[in-house]
Amino acid sequence: MSGFVLPVNEIVHPDDLVRVLRYMQRSYINPDECQQFSYRMILPGMDDYIWLLSMVYGCRLPDDTILQYITSLDITQERIEREQQEAKFEHTSALLAKILDTTQTALFWKDTERRFLGANKAFLDYYDFPSEKVILGKTDEDMGWHEKEEPFKNDEWRVIHRGESTYRVHGQCMSHGEMRDIVASKSPLIENGKIVGLVGSFEDVTDEIRRQEQTEKLNEQMQQALEKAESANRAKTVFLSNVSHDMRTPLNGILGIAELASKTDDIEQIRTYLQKIMTAGSLLKDLINDTLELSRIGSGKKQLDLEVVDADCMLERLITAIRSSAEQKKVNFHVGLALSELGFVQVDRLKLSKVLLNLLSNAVKFTPEGGDVWLLGEVLSYDEQQGICRFVVRDSGIGMSPEFIPKMFNPFEQENSLSAQGVQGTGLGLSIAKELLKVMGGTIEVDSQQGKGTTFTVEISLTRVKSQSRPPERSAYETLCLADRKVLVCEDNDLNREIVTTILEMNHLQVISAENGEDGVTCFSESQEYSIEAILMDIRMPVMDGLTAAQQIRLLPRADAKIVPIIALSANAFQEDVEASRRAGMNDHLTKPVEPDVLLACLKQHIGRFMAEQNKI
């Protein structure tokens, strides 16, 4: 195609006309320079413009006129395809931009100097940046959001210089004023076979790591709890095995000797057997009491029962009991207590007495006839609120071997040499002493040499209080005569009922028996007022238990129902059992097996008070 048949302005697209005329003018001025350009043109008979690629070149003639040549190529189809590609590229670019801005993963890209070239919306939002301008051309160090430059600086060096890709590299960064945990993954950006930068992404794993740390902590706690439970189960198995063995030993003696006694008519021999039965029974009772005591302490149910006492007199009952034991054993018992300067103190006297009783009992038991046992006490220091006391229990007895001392406070541990010498015990006394001291916040130490004796040192802090009066030392009713006093015994077990009845009748009391709580309530309600002066009440009985029976007696519409002494006589020996008895309206709580002296002393005290209350009415 050469030349234009029609004027240019009629066939060239208006938007391209000026540009075409300029190329034509440039070709006229410089005819030797080839001009190439594309434009739209419409020819007669055509409905639409077509795209042409034209080349204009010419030469200057001798008469100085210009001869121009124009060749044109129809590029309409190529142009359409190009426009379609451009449109498709623009659509793809817009779509990619939309994807980058809507994805929740933070994306960024950098050059080979680790400078930011761009980032998506999730990245900017994570750091609360208004636009890319904040980060463009800057490195991580310029931004200052990492507490430590590593590890991200290292992994980016590997990506840029080695072409490696990294995955979920853990680090920390500052976001919204808080140091957060993130993991970043990065890959090289390659153009024409050359690394020109990197592209990366990261995600916040702070909550995940915290959950993982909590899980690990819980797993560790569970493992510790499991190990503790397994240890407790092993200890429980050993404990029960020891209890079973130690209980069967005196029980076997009781049953065996009872069988021997049943086969002889010799009164003296029978008395000897009975004495041995009482000895074995006493050991069995001590074992049961000590086992329950240790179990209570180990379960954490042991609490302090504080009372205000004169420090100089708080161990009088203990001293009396030990002095009696020492005299029977023909052991010299020495007491040296200097506690008067403390005045009145707040202390769990029963627990402190149990600690020292266990130590002193062992001292007397393991000291030969003619030997010495000391109980010493002194005040180490004191102020207006507290006083620190030291108690020393020393003996000149057989002492302990070096091998036994490290395990002497373990339950059921006893020196083998003692068993060989026929010395009996539960093996729980020292364990109980140490555990009780833990409850009271005290300490215990021991020094012992075989053949030379043993010294226990106990230290405990006591709270000082101001008090103007001394508590009564002895009951006012110890001399009360119990002869002909009428007592109601509520007991469902025939043997236990017979034992209690026999003890009472041997001391000239009158006994009314009831086999359960309901019968006991009936017997009392049908009796003459004030004729029954005390009630001994078992707890676990059929038909009606002792607690319910005591409550119903207290509610009876008669004058003596409110003040008649009701004394629990039960195998329930725990402190909560005692408290339950008192809540039910009982005056006291004695535990089985029945100790005649304790039972009679308790009856004297409560019947004496009953008589005093009766006289007031």
What are the b/e assignments for 313-322, b being 16+ CB within 10 Å? ebbeebbeeb
pLDDT band at 1 (very low <50, low <70, confident <90, very high): very low
- In what helix (H) or strand (E) does residue 36 lie, and over which residues does it extend? strand 35-41
**Pairing between β-strand 178-191 and β-strand 166-175 as defined by DSSP bridges:** antiparallel
Task: For residues 217 and 176, state if they share a domain.
Answer: no
* 296, 288 contact by CB (below 8 A): no
Is there a domain that residue 420 lies in?
Answer: yes
Phi then psi for residue 122, to 5 deg, are -60, -40
Give residue 104's Cα distance to chain centre.
Answer: 40
454 and 351 part of one domain = yes
* Shared-domain flag, residues 417 and 311: yes
Please check the confidence at residue 250 and state whether its pLDDT lies above 90: no
The token pair that represents 149 in the structure block: 């430059």
Arithmetic mean of pLDDT over the chain: 83
pLDDT (tens digit per residue) in 127-173: 888 888 888 999 988 887 777 777 788 888 989 999 999 988 888 88
Q: By the 8 A CB rule, do 204 and 181 touch?
A: yes
Exposure letters 344-369 (e unless 16+ CB within 10 A, then b): bbebbbebbbbbbbbbbbbbbbbbee
Assigned token pair, 24: 């034509």
Residue 22 CA to residue 11 CA, distance in Å, equals 16
Please tell me the distance from the alpha carbon of residue 20 to that of residue 9, in angstroms, as a whole number.
10
- What domain range includes position 235? 210-298
461 plus 501 within the same structural domain? no
pLDDT given for residue 195 in this prediction: 92
Residue 486's identity, in one-letter code, is K
CA-nearest of 292, 383, 308 to 349 is 308
Higher pLDDT, 76 or 247: 76
Q: How confident is the model at residue 417 (pLDDT cuts 50, 70, 90)?
A: very low
Q: Are strands 372-382 and 332-338 parallel, antiparallel or unpaired?
A: parallel
- Binned at pLDDT 50, 70 and 90, residue 586 comes out as very high
Amino acid at 348: D
List CB contacts of 120: < 8 A, sequence separation 6 or more.
100, 101, 103, 106, 107, 108
What integer pLDDT is reported at residue 246 of this predicted model? 58
Q: What residues does 69 pair with on adjacent strands?
A: 57
Residue 542 located in a structural domain: yes
Crossing angle of helices 267-298 and 429-440, rounded to 10°: 30
Domain end residue (candidates: 20, 51, 81)? 81
Query: What is the per-residue pLDDT for 3?
Result: 45
End-to-end CA distance of the chain: 145
Domain check: are 197 and 226 in the same one? no
Whether 88 maps to a domain, the answer reads no
d(CA 428, CA 247): 13
Q: What is the pLDDT of residue 474?
A: 47
Q: Do the beta carbons of residue 185 and residue 161 sit within 8 Å?
A: no
Integer-rounded Cα Rg, in Å, for the chain is 52
* Maximum alpha-carbon separation in the chain: 174
Q: How far is it, in rounded angstroms, from Cα 386 to Cα 229? A: 38
CATH number at residue 431: 3.30.565.10
Last residue of a domain, one of 298, 319, 342: 298
pLDDT at 544 over 90: yes
Summarize the confidence of residues 413-440 as an average pLDDT.
Answer: 62
- In a domain, residue 96? The reply is no
CATH assignment of the domain containing 240: 1.10.287.130
Kindly state whether residue 323 falls inside one of the protein's structural domains: yes
What whole-number distance in Å separates Cα of residue 569 and Cα of residue 201?
Answer: 79
pLDDT tens digits for range 567-576: 999 877 677 7
Q: Are both 368 and 413 inside the same structural domain?
A: yes
Q: Note whether residue 171 is domain-resident.
A: yes
50-64, 262-276, 541-555: which has the highest mean pLDDT? 541-555
Q: Token pair of 194, please?
A: 């050359």
| 243 and 185 in a common domain | no
Please write the tens of the pLDDT for every residue from 432-447. Answer: 788 888 888 899 999 9
Q: What is the pLDDT of residue 406?
A: 79
Least-confidence region, from 72-76, 229-233, 289-293, 437-441: 289-293
**For tokens 């302490």, what's the residue?**
297
- The reply to whether 311 and 376 lie within a common domain is yes
Domain count, the chain: 5
Distance of alpha carbon 54 from alpha carbon 222, whole angstroms:
86
Q: What is the pLDDT of residues 23-75, one digit of tens each?
A: 888 888 888 888 898 999 888 888 889 999 989 888 888 888 888 888 888 88
Structure confidence by residue, pLDDT tens digits, 587-611: 999 988 888 888 999 999 999 999 9
Q: How far apart are CA 405 and CA 591, in angstroms?
A: 34
Share of the chain above pLDDT 70, in %: 86
The residue among 585 and 230 whose pLDDT is bigger is: 585
3-state secondary structure 265-332: CCHHHHHHHHHHHHHHHHHHHHHHHHHHHHHHHHCCCCCCCCEEEECCCCCHHHHHHHHHHHHHHCCE
pLDDT for 294-330, tens place per residue? 666 655 555 677 888 888 888 887 887 788 778 888 9
DSSP of 560-616? GGGTS-EEEEES--SHHHHHHHHHTT-SEEEESSP-HHHHHHHHHHHHHHHHHHHHH
506 and 461 within one domain: no
- pLDDT of amino acid 424: 46
Select the more confidently predicted residue: 466 or 447. 447
The residues, ordered by sequence, that sit 6+ positions from 342 with a Cβ below 8 Å of its Cβ are 311, 312, 379, 382, 387, 389, 462, 464
Do residue 317 and residue 451 come from a single domain? Answer: yes
Model confidence pLDDT, tens digit, residues 373-391? 999 999 999 888 889 999 9
- pLDDT per residue over 182-222, tens digit each? 888 999 989 888 999 999 888 888 888 889 889 889 999 88
Residues 124 and 151 in one domain: yes
What is the SS3 assignment for 76? Answer: helix
In the predicted model, is pLDDT for residue 243 greater than 90? no
Task: Say yes or no: 421 and 290 in one domain.
Answer: no
Least confident range from 304-318, 407-421, 481-495: namely: 407-421
What pLDDT score does 2 carry?
A: 43
